[in-house]
Chain A
Amino acid sequence: MATPRPRVRVPKSAKKGDIVEIKTLISHAMETGRRKGKDGKLIPRKIINKFTATLDGELIFQADLQPAISANPYISFPLKAEKSGTIAFEWHEDGGAVYKKSAKIEVA
């Protein structure tokens, strides 16, 4: 499978106190472990099982995912703009691989 490619959409700037929308997506098959391959054997489960978002190191949102989440998992959530900083996103895959992306937000 191609290397998962994370994408995020974070507003570059926001007014203090406003609630902004953060949208994330990672290209990933989210293999459920219930599907059979051409050889008739089950394809082992391989999903993104955890997603986290931190603002300057402080956790702001986390999602624990199960195989019932669609391929190319899309997650969006709000953030109340209080301070400027860097939002770091992490997608944890079964087997321990972690995919990362970060974005800056300027709060005025």
Chain B
Amino acid sequence: MKTLLIAEYRDGKLLGTSSELINFSAQLGAGSAMFLVGSENALPGYSGKLYLAEATPATEFNPGLHKQLILEVIAKEQPQMVVLPHSSYGWDLAPRLALALNAAQISEVVEIKDGTLVVPSCNAKLRRQVKATTDISVVTLQGGAFTPADDPTGAPEVIKLEATSGGDIQFKGYEAAAATAVDLSKAEIIVSAGRGIGKPENLQMIENLAKALKGEYGASRPVVDAEWAEQSRQVGTTGQTVTPKLYVACGISGAIQHLAGMKKSEFVLAINTDKDAPIGEIADVLAVADLKQLVPILTEKLNAL
């Protein structure tokens, strides 16, 4: 088995996901080569062949061009599997490759089981073991699922690729994340509100609990999207990453993108009406209760201490 690993690069930086690709490939017991549109000044720790095209504003985000270059590398390397991170770069590019290769795509792999791949379904409430029936497959890996214990080392053997611009999508630069009014990354105690709060007025009880615990309040994405809380309160892959001593998740189901932002919390208390909510997988304590009842009582009792 041979894999082609597609590393990610953005705005002058190599993204950390390449180590997960390398580890995944090693777990499969496969040989590998790597592809990157990036820079010679930011090479991954990797001992293998690295096909490298120089990133410029016209080539850095250009899925049509990346597809073309990768197809050329595939013709040379003949891998049985093309591996990408399940990220904004990976899920955009993977189906383009899959169709061009007549390959089945397996999205968001979380585990290798008996040589086949496992993906989540229904907000991680189910897992599907799947198999491609095509000779070559394209897979994307869930962030964090294959993080190696130690970062891979080594210096790649760089093979330069010629990248011309062009293509039917124009990339016009980045827009920085909105300035954060609240720096949750330094908070020691965070109480977060999820969609389970039901209506904006109920955010107050989350704030009150946060105050009673002398912490900050945070929010899951739907609460921010609905404009019940500011963007700077959002915890998760597209929000802030937090590492408090105590994280209280109120009415939050525990989607992977939320977990990614808070799973390094020291102690997690979840309050949820759904006993099977995936947040239970990482919570130290799951209180199965209606937050509208439990949160005010808990706050009152804490204030009386």
Do A and B interact?
A: no
**Chain B residues proximal to chain A, CB less than 8 Å:** none
